[in-house]
């Protein structure tokens, strides 16, 4: 009987210690890195990205100019408040035509937001269309550029 009580007490203690070990849980959704790397700034649209990557956990608060994919790794231990171990944030920004204009990755280190990646491709001529560039270049003609300085 004494032997059974010792084994039962040991089992209860080990079960209690195992319960305090904690669990790691992922919260949120982050697309696969291969899918993010395949995005082409200036070509992919909001609809094509949503079709390939899925709907993010949150979107733009006031406008539809960005998608935010957020994933957090939380450590849960007993009755203690969960501790955030890691957070990844992927921001996909869109222009007025809903075409991808920027891809940014952020992380959290010591409670501070840290930029991990910033991908932006500027179109030649800025935001001006081809027609605006042609019309804008008409007044900038310099005859010395053809003949040369005497």
Global pTM value: 0.61
pLDDT band at 58, cuts 50/70/90?
A: low
Long-range contacts of 107-112 (CB under 8 A, 24+ apart): 108/84
Domain ranges, ordered by start, for the chain? 23-136
The residue among 56, 124, 134 whose CA lies nearest residue 88 is: 56
Q: What local confidence, expressed as pLDDT, does residue 63 receive?
A: 60
How large a percentage of the chain has pLDDT more than 90?
Answer: 0
Reported as a single tens digit per residue, the pLDDT across 64-98 is 788 888 888 888 887 788 888 888 888 888 888 88
Q: What is the pLDDT of residue 10?
A: 82
Q: Report how far Cα 57 is from the mean position of its chain's Cα atoms.
A: 11
Contact yes or no for 41/100 (Cβ under 8 A): yes
- What are the residues facing 73 on neighbouring strands? 26, 86
How far apart, in whole angstroms, are the C-alpha atoms of residue 4 and residue 10?
10
pLDDT for 96 equals: 87
């Amino acid at each position: 009987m004494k032997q059974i009580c010792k084994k039962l007490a040991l089992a209860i203690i080990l079960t209690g210690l195992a319960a305090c070990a904690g669990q790691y849980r992922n919260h949120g959704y982050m697309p696969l890195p291969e899918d993010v790397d395949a995005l082409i700034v200036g070509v992919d649209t909001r609809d094509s990205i949503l079709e390939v990557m899925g709907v993010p956990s949150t979107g733009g608060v006031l406008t539809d100019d960005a998608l935010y994919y957020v994933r957090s790794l939380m450590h849960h231990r007993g009755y203690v408040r969960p501790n955030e171990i890691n957070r990844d944030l992927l921001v996909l920004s869109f222009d007025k035509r809903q075409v991808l204009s920027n891809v940014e990755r952020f992380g959290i280190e010591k409670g501070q937001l840290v930029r991990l990646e910033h991908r932006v491709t500027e179109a030649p001529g800025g935001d001006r269309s081809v027609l605006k560039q042609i019309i804008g270049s008409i007044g900038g003609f310099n005859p010395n550029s053809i003949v040369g300085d005497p």
